[in-house]
């Protein structure tokens, strides 16, 4: 396991302060970000020094570990109670997964890229973080584990797959970056008690694409 020394902890405190100035205000989210050693999720030692800057990084297989601000923003949007069942699409490095575990959620996460799935599973286990990880196509969700209180998509989706809102509990919501090309809109899709869906647009972000039929 990668060690977490006072220098990392100091840098992490600074990152939390940086996120506060950028508008992240939920104390539980800031605490979770303050607890997860982001440098442990970066394989390439060339990037280790930059682990606590508010930027995205390559994690292999052409994918990236999301920018801390994006992770914090999406986590803040989830606003679930501890113990809530949360499905993440796009496990990647497992950094966001770890933040969700620290929020006290019961976490399920799907990754389509097998080598990433395997590496991240070992990494989270090694860190003592409990989450149910799956190798599969996030477009299908995780019907066997449904329904979920929240679903979080961490890759840019060209459209909202019908399977995802179908796997939400009434009163639950989906957070998903939607759009093809360079930029996506962060969409919150609330499943109302009568089952109808209410859409809210929360601004522009950049994500790697959600790929179909490529497991």
Residues binding ligand SAH (CB under 6 A): 63-66, 89-90, 92-93, 95-96, 110-113, 116, 137-139, 154-155, 208, 210-211
For the bound state, the minimum distance from the C-beta of residue 63 to ligand SAH, rounded and expressed in Å, comes to 4
| Residue 132 among the catalytic residues | no
27-30-31 Cα angle (round to 5): 85
The catalytically annotated residue of 25, 40, 66, 109 is 66
Question: In terms of CB distance, is 111 or 149 closer to ligand SAH?
Answer: 111
Question: In terms of CB distance, is 124 or 168 closer to ligand SAH?
Answer: 124
For the bound state, the minimum distance from the C-beta of residue 60 to ligand SAH, rounded and expressed in Å, comes to 9
For the bound state, the minimum distance from the C-beta of residue 84 to ligand SAH, rounded and expressed in Å, comes to 18
Question: In terms of CB distance, is 33 or 65 closer to ligand SAH?
Answer: 65
What positions carry a catalytic annotation? Answer: 66
């Amino acid at each position: 396991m990668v060690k977490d020394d006072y220098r990392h902890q100091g840098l992490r405190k600074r990152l939390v302060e940086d996120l506060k100035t950028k508008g992240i205000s939920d104390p539980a989210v800031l605490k979770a970000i303050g607890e997860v050693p982001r440098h442990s999720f970066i394989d390439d030692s060339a990037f280790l020094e930059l682990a606590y800057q508010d930027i995205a990084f390559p994690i292999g297989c052409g994918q990236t570990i999301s920018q801390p601000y994006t992770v914090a923003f999406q986590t803040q949007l989830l606003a679930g109670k501890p113990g809530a069942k949360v499905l993440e699409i796009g496990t990647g490095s497992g950094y966001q997964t770890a933040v969700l575990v620290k929020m006290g959620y019961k976490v399920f996460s799907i990754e389509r890229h097998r080598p990433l799935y395997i590496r991240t599973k070992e990494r989270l286990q090694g860190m003592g973080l409990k989450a149910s990880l799956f190798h599969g196509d996030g477009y299908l969700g995780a019907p066997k584990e449904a329904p979920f209180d929240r679903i979080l998509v961490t890759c840019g989706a060209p459209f909202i797959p019908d399977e995802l809102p179908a796997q939400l509990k009434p009163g639950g919501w989906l957070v998903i970056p939607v759009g093809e090309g360079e930029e996506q809109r962060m969409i919150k899709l609330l499943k109302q008690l009568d089952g109808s869906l209410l859409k809210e647009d929360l601004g522009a972000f950049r994500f790697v694409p959600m790929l179909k039929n490529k497991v």
